[in-house]
């Protein structure tokens, strides 16, 4: 019999009544920033990020958090091509039925990934970013904002999409599972990954974060895969989508 864990309801403080959405990725991923670890998950409430997730694709056959085929030393000294990262270009799907309220594409992507440089840029942005002057795309890169049909005050953000991949337009209706873009390395990103969050309005400059759990996925725990329903991926946990 398949093991199941129902996670929502026995969660860290602030996550007891989450909005349930579908997992927006396919295949295996790792949560690197998650509200299951700390709140705010990104160390700030700005831009509606209080309960945001960052999800990366790694090589499970290698020890450590390897996002690119290059070894650790090469990654720090030389780097590698962005498009060679395991998560780059992977499809991102709508997490619920809704309408597109913003679709931003055309933000340039850094073609070469260099760990030290990316970390330096993130630190610089943390100090110098002026949201009202620079706009959300300076941090979010190419991104899509969706409004939920069932609860019109709830909005989802998927950010850092690769240039030219946004597959929707403002005003378009989407169904859960529809392709909306592909994972990339644009904006305030250290490597190709998906930034995902829910918020209570369409404008990240003014909205507050909303906690969300994923309807169903599998987590690698105790050496085996177990099905998790209404769950919050843990920091560093390998998770994968379910059909």
Tell me the pLDDT tens digit for each residue of 31-67.
Answer: 999 999 999 999 999 999 999 999 999 998 888 889 9
User: Mean pLDDT across the chain, nearest whole number?
Assistant: 91
C-alpha–C-alpha distance, residues 177 and 240, integer Å = 15
Q: Of 87, 93, 97, 98, give the one whose Cα is nearest residue 167.
A: 93
With 0-12 CB in 10 A as exposed, 13-18 as middle and 19+ as buried, what is 227?
Answer: middle
Residue 96, pLDDT score: 98
Percentage above 90 pLDDT, the chain: 75
pLDDT band at residue 181 using 50, 70 and 90 as cut-offs? very high
**pLDDT value of residue 133:** 60
Query: pLDDT band at residue 6, thresholds of 50, 70 and 90?
Result: low
Residue 121 has pLDDT above 90, yes or no: no
- Bridge partners (DSSP) listed for residue 238: 30
The yes-or-no verdict on residue 10 having pLDDT over 80 is no
In this predicted model, what pLDDT tens digit does every residue of 131-152 receive, in sequence order?
A: 666 689 989 999 999 999 999 9
Evaluate whether 210 touches 200 at the Cβ level (below 8 Å).
Answer: yes
Average pLDDT of span 217-231: 97
Whole-number Å distance between alpha carbons of 22 and 150: 14
pLDDT at 168: 98
Ordered structural domains, the chain, with CATH? 4-240 (2.70.70.10)
pLDDT of residue 75: 77
Residues 147-163 have a mean pLDDT of: 97
Give the Cα separation of 45 and 209 in Å (integer): 7
Report the pLDDT value the prediction gives residue 104, as an integer from 0 to 100.
97
- pLDDT at position 103, please? 98
Has residue 7 got a pLDDT over 90? no
Phi, psi at 216, each rounded to 5°: -165, 140
For 24, the 3-state DSSP assignment is coil
């Amino acid at each position: 019999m398949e093991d199941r864990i129902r996670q929502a309801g026995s969660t860290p403080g602030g996550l007891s009544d989450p909005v349930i959405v579908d997992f927006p990725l396919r295949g295996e991923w790792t949560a690197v920033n998650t509200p299951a670890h700390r709140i705010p998950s990104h160390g700030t409430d700005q831009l509606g990020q209080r309960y945001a997730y960052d999800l990366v694709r790694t090589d499970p056959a290698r020890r450590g958090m390897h996002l690119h085929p290059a070894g650790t030393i090469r990654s720090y000294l030389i780097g590698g091509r962005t498009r060679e990262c395991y998560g780059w270009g992977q499809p991102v799907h709508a997490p619920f039925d809704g309408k597109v309220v913003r679709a931003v594409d055309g933000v340039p992507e850094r073609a070469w990934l260099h760990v030290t440089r990316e970390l330096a840029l993130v630190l610089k942005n943390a100090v110098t970013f002026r949201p009202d002057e620079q706009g959300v795309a300076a941090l979010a890169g190419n991104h899509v904002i969706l409004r939920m049909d069932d609860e019109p005050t709830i909005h989802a953000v998927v950010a850092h999409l690769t240039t030219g991949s946004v597959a929707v337009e403002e005003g378009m209706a989407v169904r859960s599972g529809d392709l909306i873009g592909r994972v990339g390395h644009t904006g305030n990103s250290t490597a190709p990954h998906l930034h995902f969050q829910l918020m209570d309005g369409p404008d990240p400059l003014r909205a507050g974060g909303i906690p969300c759990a994923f309807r169903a996925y599998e987590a690698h725990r105790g050496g085996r895969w177990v099905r998790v329903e209404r769950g919050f991926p843990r920091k560093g946990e390998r998770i994968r989508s379910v059909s």
